[in-house]
Amino acid sequence: MHILIAADADYVVNDIVSALSGPDTSFTVCHEGRDVSPIVAERTPDLVILDLQIGSMGGMAATMALRLDHSAGNAPDVRILMLLDRQADIHLAKRSAANAWLVKPFDALTLQVAVDAALAESEPVAAG
């Protein structure tokens, strides 16, 4: 599985990589939301994990950009897990069409549940 992580906080990236690392898992990390679409176009990941707060283009805007690119036929459909700062941000994840979301802080087990939910072919869900 290949995972694209977009977060500007190193501890978030470290927590994700530590929790999800395995022999069949690879990661691409970017620190700017505006870099997400070009990376997805270059190498389609199995999952995109977006932090809500990323530099000048946050997780909501990056998710919406990916969804708009796909609907225009310019990009593949990707599964998206959004990391939120608080419960009140769930509406942002829903509005941007994320497949799943998780409120920080999280532990490894809760993150894995959220990843499984994001990869499932079902309605968007909150995990954890």
CATH of domain 2-126: 3.40.50.2300
pLDDT in tens, 39-74: 999 999 999 999 999 988 999 999 999 999 999 988
Full-model pTM: 0.93
Contacts of 116 (CB under 8 A, 6+ apart): 127
Q: What letter would DSSP give residue 46? A: S
pLDDT in tens, 16-43: 999 999 999 999 999 999 999 999 999 9
Contact 44, 76 (CB under 8 A): yes
pLDDT at 55: 83
Least trusted range by pLDDT, from 16-20, 76-80, 124-128: 124-128
Beta bridge partners, 126, equal 101
